[in-house]
Amino acid sequence: MHSFFLLSTLLLSSAVLSTPIPAPTGIPTTTDAKSELASLTVAVAGSQSGYARDLFPTWITISGTCDTRETVLKRDGTNVVVDSACKATSGTWVSPYDGATWTAASDLDIDHLVPLSNAWKSGASAWTTAQRQTFANDLTHPQLLAVTDNVNESKGDSGPEDWKPPLSSYWCTYAKMWVKVKSVYDLTITSAEKTALTSMLNTC
């Protein structure tokens, strides 16, 4: 019984390890991420006053009937099948935050790596609606990922100083992506945020 359980566990581990974790485009090298982190402006977080999610229009049409959510689901999944409305009807997804595998798109959220409210407090409050829409639907930089829905809910609008992916082996990649997005959009970071990012980049 114990031998069977052990064998099953090993086989499951092998299956998990052989399943590639998706990666959005634009992830910098560790060296570049550290350089970009050093260049970010450290400042106290701005006010949450005036923030509303609707000020960051999501999801927009990307191609045909496919919106941003469906586009990310197709990008991050394998063998994804969609219907005429571009809704994913089947496929397999591996959530990079926790390593969980899902076969139903309804189990996945599309996470804004740098949360919209975090962006608001670090510079986006001064943006135009068009700029905020670009940020909220950015497929060029590593800002959007398909992740386990309840893990995304646990993250909420927290920065890396308060929340890290449950899968510690992903901390390096997570930090590199966070720094890239903040750098591209010229957003500020807090001192606690910088300390957390530095620590995470040191795991690379």
**Domain annotation covers residue 159:** yes
**3-state secondary structure (DSSP) of residue 95:** coil
Write b or e for each residue in 121-135: b if 16 or more Cβ atoms lie within 10 A of its Cβ, otherwise e.
bbbbbebeeeebbbb
Domains contained in the chain, number: 1
Question: Is residue 86 within 8 Å of 67, Cβ to Cβ?
Answer: yes
Q: What type of residue is 35?
A: S
Q: pLDDT of the chain along its 204 residues, tens only?
A: 333 333 333 333 333 334 567 778 899 999 999 999 999 999 999 999 999 999 999 999 999 999 999 999 999 999 999 999 999 999 999 999 999 999 999 999 999 999 999 999 999 999 999 999 999 999 999 999 999 999 999 999 999 999 999 999 999 999 999 999 999 999 999 999 999 999 999 999
Residue range of the domain that includes 168: 26-201
Q: How far apart are CA 118 and CA 121, in angstroms?
A: 5
Cα separation, 39 vs 42, in Å, equals 9
Is residue 151 one of the residues assigned to a domain? yes
| Within a domain: 11 | no
Asked if the structure places residue 30 within a domain, the reply is yes
